[in-house]
Amino acid sequence: MTVLDALAILEAATLECKQRDIYTPEVREALDCLQSHIRLEWLIPQFRYHAQLNEKNQVDKEAQQQALRAIFPVIRELAKDLLGNQRRGYSCRSALMDGPGAAVRCDSRHRK
């Protein structure tokens, strides 16, 4: 599963949590996929906690959606950072194949 796939699944779950139980194997896989990549250690467990409340019949569906809507944008932003880093890494790797001069340009272009 790609990061983009995982984000799409979590976004759909956030939007659909009032209509159905969203803690499906697909959502669990998406959370597992992102957990090792997201820097804030508490973020994915927090989303997971709110997603599985419906499964335990312990939830006000409006409150569940509010919580997920507060958490998901943070996940999305951190994943965008992750995707940006992967893209920069890919650019540098492909530049290395073109020669040492190209790698230097790539590295200096992406330094903060």
Output the DSSP codes for 14-55. HHHTTTS----HHHHHHHHHHHTT-S-TTHHHHHHHHHHTGG
Pull the structure tokens for residue 33.
């996929």
What ranges do the domains of the chain cover?
3-84
Q: What is the pLDDT of residues 6-64, one digit of tens each?
A: 999 999 999 999 899 999 999 999 999 999 888 899 999 999 999 998 766 667 888 99
Judged against a pLDDT cut of 70, whether residue 83 lies above it is answered with yes
pLDDT at position 55 is 64
Least confident of 5-14, 89-98, 99-108: 99-108
Q: Given a cut of 80, is residue 85 above it in pLDDT? A: no
